Chains A and B, each alone.
Chain A
Amino acid sequence: KAGVTQTPRYLIKTRGQQVTLSCSPISGHRSVSWYQQTPGQGLQFLFEYFSETQRNKGNFPGRFSGRQFSNSRSEMNVSTLELGDSALYLCASSKLTGGVNEQFFGPGTRLTVL
């Protein structure tokens, strides 16, 4: 079956702009998590959505937001972009939330902020 897909794969924006990233989970998966990966900070958890509700949130400013639709697809939005937001943004899906559930990752969206 199809894996997790993320669009776009690459994105270049300038400071102050906003960006929306999209993630389609594996069919049947209801949990979608977002991560930011940078060389300096490594992989950091942004938030998790399950059944259209945000279940967990990492330690990121309010400029980072997300939502999940009824078909489990998720979007992540970053407003007022800063240079430090340049990163690889990874989306992961799993069947359930909580517990010990394996997460399957998408290929990521590489965001460059100029």
Chain B
Amino acid sequence: AQKITQTQPGMFVQEKEAVTLDCTYDTSDQSYGLFWYKQPSSGEMIFLIYQGSYDEQNATEGRYSLNFQKARKSANLVISASQLGDSAMYFCAMRETNYGQNFVFGPGTRLSVLP
């Protein structure tokens, strides 16, 4: 069964500092994708970054990077130079490539950026 674990219910970071949000996953499939989404208080889910299981390089998107350690089944999100607008819930999600599967989300981490 798929499972996503995010062990940090809440995190605080000082503005302009970097922060790492943890995500570990469990799958027996060899082919899968890992996603991070941001959910501000408005409720909309905003796609941040994607990592494929066969990608050798860690994904980066602007201030977001994904620290992918396949053997450890971890896909941590790193946000550099935190901004006040980064305060939100962050969800790690996985989708296997087998037919019939869909996204499974972790419980989320609430990030608060302090001025």
Contact = CB atoms under 8 A, between A and B. Distances in A.
A17 interface: no
A73 B108 CA distance: 29
A100 B44 contact: no
A52 B44 CA distance: 25
8 contacts: A42-B107, A42-B108, A56-B100, A98-B98, A98-B99, A100-B33, A100-B95, A108-B44
Interface residues of B, number: 27
Given A45-B102, A105-B44, A110-B43, A99 B97 contact: yes
B103 A103 contact: yes
A21 interface: no
B37 interface: yes
A21 B55 CA distance: 37
Interface of B: 31-33, 35, 37, 42-47, 50, 52, 91, 95, 97-108
- Chain A: interface secondary structure? strand
A72 interface: no
Interface of A: 33, 35, 42-43, 45, 48, 55-56, 58, 88, 90, 92, 98-108, 110
Contacts of A107: 42-44
A56 B46 CA distance: 23
B16 to A, nearest CB: 29
Contacts of B106: 42
B31 to A, nearest CB: 8
Of the listed residues A45, A56, A103, the one surrounded by the most CB atoms of chain B closer than 10 A to its CB is A103
